[in-house]
Structure 1
Amino acid sequence: MDSTITDSSYSWTRLALTLLVGTVINAGMWAIIVIMPAVEAEFGGTRAMASLPYTATMIGFATGNYVIGRAVDRFGITLSLIIAAVVTALGFGLATFSTSLVMLSVAQLIVGFASAVGFGPLIADISHWFVRRRGIAVAVAASGNYLSGAIWPIVSAGLLENSGWRSVYFLMAAVTLAVVIPLAFALRRRVPEEAQAAANHASAINVQSVGLSPRALQYLLGAAGIGCCVAMSMPQVHIVALCVGLGFGPAVGAQMLSLMLLGGVASRIVSGLLADRLGGVRTLLIGSCLQCLALFLYLPAGGMVSLYLVSLVFGLSQGGIVPSYALIVREYMPAREAGARVGFVMMTTILGMALGGWLSGVIYDISGSYTLAFVNGIVWNGANIAIMLWLLSRSKPRTPVAVPA
């Protein structure tokens, strides 16, 4: 018999199921990247036009984090997951009937919106079940997103080559329904009221020490999220293009991106362990400083070996940043609003990625080089560091106590 509700054997089992759900349903975010070359070949148009479905996916994913997060607060994760899985599958199915990039973009907007349940909302849900080990739990849950991006392209590569991208989407729709819906029922247990009450008490003390309302702190974290993710997007979005420009080819750039993602998974786990000792603000500040250092290292890197090394360093530096926002939300904001609050901050980080990817392209078009784009990322990263230093100087968060079963 577990002595507590939180950090119990059930909590760890639930975390394992959460990671599996996230790895499957987050495929909706990465699907369009997998099929983009085939889509461009089929529908034609410019590179910018072929990128519209990806942009629509990210808009949907950002919005879904907030909207579905609010739904989780009200209806629980089980119903939210079931509806999201069905809608994701319908989006995949609609995409297979696309006869134009516009129609595909609409389908991808739906896919991105519904599959967002596997990121912020799922992270918020698992955070209720841990206190002492909340950092590592959130980190593991957030890793489902990166694992999905690392696994799905490999799994679908053969089918894509032999049967086309529509077969890949049919497979993704079938797997989403077959895996996510049964697991959603396995997650139907709700956190008892006394556990939420203890967490609400601790967060109220923390936010009072900062001198901000929960809403104001949420917006401050949103601004910080935009800053760090504008910086983060430069290597993640443009590393392939950078390698092509240097004459290394797209395959080398894709390998560097995979190296970043795998490094990001490792970084998330280590950051989660660190957060259990230092708290979310300190952990985020460390990750942000390391990311800024990695961006500086990109400036002199021009050879293939140096770019591989710096890309690995970048991945190992930044992976724990985004999950740390969820920890800060739980440390400073009411538990009953975790889905909406975490979803909002996750939404701003995704919008930061979208903004940063666009800004880097504009800077490259103007300057003919990615050097100033990296400098732009460093400046935005500096703004994030400044916000975290201010928040750290204002308060010392207290951890909610575990509640007896």
Structure 2
Amino acid sequence: MEEQAGTKSFFYGYLIVAASSIIQMLFLSCMFAYGVLFKELEAEFGWSRAAIAGASSLMMLMMGTLAIFLGRTNDIAGPRLLLTLTGILYGLGFMLMSQMNSLWELYLFFGVMGGFGLASHDVATLSTVNRWFIRFRGLMTGIVKSGAGLGQVLGPILASYLVMNYGWRNACLVMGLLVMAGMVLASQLMRGDPESMNTLPLSEPDSMKSNETPKRTSLRFEEARKTRSFWILCLAKFADFFCLMSVINHIVPHGIDLGMKPTVAVTVLSTIGGCSIIGRLVLGSAFDRIGPQKSLGVCFSLLFMGLMLILLAKDPRLLFVFAPIYGISHGGFFAIASPTVAHFFGTRSHGMLFGTVLFFGALGGTLGPVITGRVYDLFQSYDNAFMMLIGFTVIGLLLTLALKNPNPTTA
């Protein structure tokens, strides 16, 4: 007989959240540590920065393309096996970078193997959390994504220490090994859904008191893809990723162009990472109270304010005003994406649906930094590029306003 969540002294779903947060931290630590390797690879091999950045773009493209497939795999096989295998592949790719001598090896180890592993980090962890929680769904997703923010901050710091003291090859070897071991261990705590442990999701108090499972409408992928809301979410995710990845890739050179020292400009990026944790927690928690449409509206509005600020501001110190505004928006987008899909379409095919939304996001994240860079090369200024990003932000906000609330019993 299934037991209601909350009738025991400990609900296993909280352990799912903790394991998922660790997994997110490990995945993102290596991803963001890659920027530390730029100058090392450029100095040793003479590769251009465009060529080195191409491996990162390939990782993003692989992540988006495979997210649909791995989301479906998670729906069928569950997160424990999926995350164990992709964690091994991801860590192994970083370890093999320590032995590379050719550009194609960088693209294989970081772009392909890393992208394959990274494709599972959201569809497996966040889909699982959304199956375990109805109550506090946004907050729990925010806590999990805070792990990603922590990895964004800690990864470059650890990589910098290892590179300075032991060289970039040993840095890749050590970080890859640590991530692989941590991923395998944390993945063993994952369980696909509460039913597999003879319990029920954490639900609202009223449903717990009545001892009834919350009624909810969960759509199959074939049903959800026929709805207008699904394609609006896909296009909105394309718009926000287009802007977010462009800012992350170009804010440091923009700061240097304004007269900042490189070390100070990097601090802006770290500030964004720290503030994104606040955004993940605050907006994730707010999602539970105000719902997906208003949450997305807040994120796009903050993004609009931040982009207008860096477009008009010529004092580099104002980038430290921009960083918290943008950082909260950045974290919020990542925290509310998964519960938004669950809110509209349920959890039956959540992995595949969320994976499809992420594919559109990854497509925007792949194109955005490249197009932004091309616009800068054409005009030798980021002004036109920032106006382009503001345009995408407005489009995303208008798409959000066109969303229609689903049946209130959807979960």
Please, what TM-score do these two structures have when normalized by structure 1?
0.90
The 2-side partners of 1:351 and 1:2 are apart by 42
Instruction: Give the partner amino acid of 2:132.
Output: W
Give 1:6 deviation, angstroms.
11
1:321 aligns with 2:333: yes
| Alignment counterpart, residue 190 of structure 1, candidates 180, 190, 193 | 193
Deviations 1:105-138 (A, max 9, x none): 1111211221332223211111111111000111
Q: 2:230 aligns with which of 202, 215, 218?
A: 218
For 1:136 and 1:346, the matched residues in 2 are separated by 20
Would the aligned equivalents of 2:97 and 2:106 in 1 still touch at CA under 8 Å?
yes
Q: In structure 1, what is the Cα distance between the partners aligned to 2:326 and 2:294?
A: 19
Paired with 2:63 and 2:149, the residues of 1 have a C-alpha distance of 15
Q: Which one of the candidate residues 177, 202, 216 is aligned to 2:217?
A: 202
Paired position in structure 1 for 2:5: 4
Which range is displaced more, 30-39 or 132-141?
A: 30-39
Q: Secondary structure at the match of 1:299?
A: helix
Structure 1 residue runs without a partner (length 5+): none
User: Within 2, Cα distance between the matches of 1:44 and 1:266?
Assistant: 39
Q: How far is 1:25 from its partner? A: 2.6
Contact 1:279–1:327 (CA<8 Å) still a contact in 2? Answer: no
Partner of 2:155: 152
What's the secondary structure of 2:259's corresponding residue? coil
Amino acid at match of 1:306: L
Q: Distance in 2 between matches of 1:170 and 1:6?
A: 46
Partner of 1:140: 143
1:373 to 366, 369, 385: 385
1:243 aligns with 2:245: no
Corresponding position: 1:398 with 2:408: yes
Alignment of 1:105-124 (within 5 A): 105-108=107-110, 109-124=112-127
1:348-363 paired onto structure 2 within 5 Å: 348-363=360-375
Q: Hey, what does 2:181 align to over in structure 1?
A: 178
Q: Hey, what's the Cα distance between the residues in 2 that align with 1:35 and 1:255?
A: 17
| Contact 2:74–2:123 (Cα < 8 Å) also in 1 | no
Tell me the TM-score normalized by structure 2.
Answer: 0.88
The alpha-carbon distance between structure 1 residues 28 and 279, as it changes in their structure 2 partners (threshold 3 A), is same
2:164 to 161, 164, 184: 161
**Equivalent of 2:43, from 38, 41, 44?**
41
Given that residues 121 and 343 in structure 1 are in contact (C-alpha distance below 8 angstroms), is that contact kept between their aligned partners in structure 2?
A: no
- Alpha carbons 1:232, 1:377 under 8 Å: kept: no
Could you tell me whether the CA contact under 8 Å between 2:131 and 2:193 is conserved in 1?
Answer: no
Which one-letter code corresponds to 1:348 in the other structure?
A: F
Q: Does the C-alpha gap of structure 1 residues 231 and 172 become closer, same or farther in structure 2, counting only changes over 3 Å?
A: same
What RMSD, in angstroms, separates the aligned Cα atoms of the two structures?
Answer: 2.7
Asked whether the 8 Å contact 2:83–2:124 carries over to 1, the reply is: no
When structure 1 is superposed on structure 2, of 38-47 and 114-123 the one drifting more is 114-123
Residue 171 of structure 1 and its aligned partner are, at CA, apart by: 1.1
Residue 20 of structure 2 corresponds to which residue in structure 1?
Answer: 18
Deviations 1:27-59 (A, max 9, x none): 342232221221111111322122222222222
Amino acid at match of 1:131: I
Q: CA deviation at 1:18?
A: 1.3
Distance in 1 between the 2:117 and 2:379 partners? Answer: 38
Alpha-carbon distance, 1:199 to partner: 7.2
CA change 1:5–1:397 in 2 (3 A) is farther
What secondary structure sits across from 1:192 in the alignment? helix
State the number of aligned residues.
Answer: 395
- Residues 159-192 of structure 1 show CA distances to partners (whole Å, capped at 9, x for unaligned) of 1112212211211222123222122122236331
State percent identity of aligned pairs. 25
Does the 8 Å CA contact 2:309/2:322 hold for their aligned counterparts? Answer: yes
**Residues 233-382 of structure 1 mapped to structure 2, 5 A cutoff:** 233-382=245-394
Tell me how far 1:68 sits from its aligned partner.
1.9
Q: Aligned-pair distance for 1:399?
A: 4.9
Q: Distance in 2 between matches of 1:397 and 1:141?
A: 27
One-letter amino acid of the structure 2 residue matched with residue 126 of structure 1: V
Q: Compute the displacement of 1:213 (Å).
A: 4.7
Query: Quick one: distance in 2 between partners of 1:51 and 1:171?
Result: 22
Q: CA-to-partner distance for each residue in 1:184-239, whole Å, 9 max, x for gaps?
A: 1222363318959967833459x99xxx7556543331111111222223322111
SS in 2 for 1:201: coil
Q: Which runs of 4+ in 1 moved over 4 A?
A: 5-8, 193-200, 212-216
